Amino acid sequence: MQPIYAPGTSLLHRLHPLTKVVGAALVIVAIYLLPWLLAPLALFGMLLMLAALSGVADRFLRTALRVLLPITISLFVIQGILFPPPGSTPISLGPINLPLEGLEFAFLTSTRLLAFTGTFLLLLQTTHPADLVFALTERGLPRSIGYILLVSLQIVPDMSARTTAILEAQRSRGLETQGGLRRVRAIVPLVGPLVVGALVDVEERAMALESRAYTAPGLKSSLRQLVDSTGQRVARLLMLLTPVSLMAGRIALFFLT
């Protein structure tokens, strides 16, 4: 499993992580609040352009499509075509009639998910996880939560590798992982060693934390330095104000129509 972060020196890479987080939050609010049918797709197009400028477009598109293609197909087939909302207007397309409202619903839901996924992917592709967590802990995220996030990101690949090793070891001892009910019974000899191994690690990791005075009170210094600028501070403030006006606009629209 390769990490999602792609090192680089583009504009997006150089921005302060908080600026990117606030920007991402703004895009997500916009995805769900803009009243136009095509808005999420347009936002995704914008994200794709930004990804291309940062040199990460290839991975960006592949991951977004891999995650969302099955959901999109299900959405169009089940909610869009087979069971549209009651009272849909049919539009004829050659020999078949397609319900307009059903297709609109499926289109809106899937493009929203696409833009949502794209926002996170772009943020994570251009921000080193440690920088992101450091920026958040500077602004009041509990240090323990930051620690958990970073360590988890690091050990998930290890754990996946260990799982594969256990699977292969048990297969070599004759564990059946193919066919019917036998597969379900195979879970126990796979999960057992993995979890017990992890619990044995806990003591060592806890002692490592204690020996480095992690739980000691007081100020801690960090190796990381983040570059911030007045321009970015102003931009963040403006971006924080935009969702408020978007929400106000949405509410006004709701009462006027």
Interacting residues with another protein between 53 and 82 (CB under 8 A): 63, 67-75, 78-79, 82
Residue 28: both structure tokens together: 């997500």
Residue 197: both structure tokens together: 């191994």
- Tell me the site size for another protein, rule CB under 8 A: 73
Q: Among residues 57, 58, 53, which one has the least CA distance to residue 12?
A: 53
229 binds another protein (CB under 8 A): no
| Options 42, 190, 235, 246; binder of another protein; rule CB under 8 A | 190
- Nearest distance from residue 36's CB to another protein, in Å? 18
- Nearest distance from residue 155's CB to another protein, in Å? 5
User: Given the complex with another protein, which of 7 and 217 has the nearer CB atom?
Assistant: 217
Strands (E), the chain: 90-93, 96-99
Secondary structure (3-state) at 91: strand
Number of H helices, E strands in the chain: 10, 2
CA distance 40 to 105: 13
202 binds another protein (CB under 8 A): yes
Q: Binding string to another protein for residues 154 to 183, with x set by CB under 8 A, is what? A: -xx-xxx-xx---x---------x-----x
Segment 93 to 132, residues that bind another protein, using CB under 8 A: 105-106, 109-110, 112-113, 116-117, 120-121, 124-125, 129
Q: Among residues 231, 19, 244, 7, which one has the least CA distance to residue 139?
A: 19
- Nearest distance from residue 229's CB to another protein, in Å? 26
| Options 210, 229, 233, 234; binder of another protein; rule CB under 8 A | 210
CA distance 35 to 110: 15
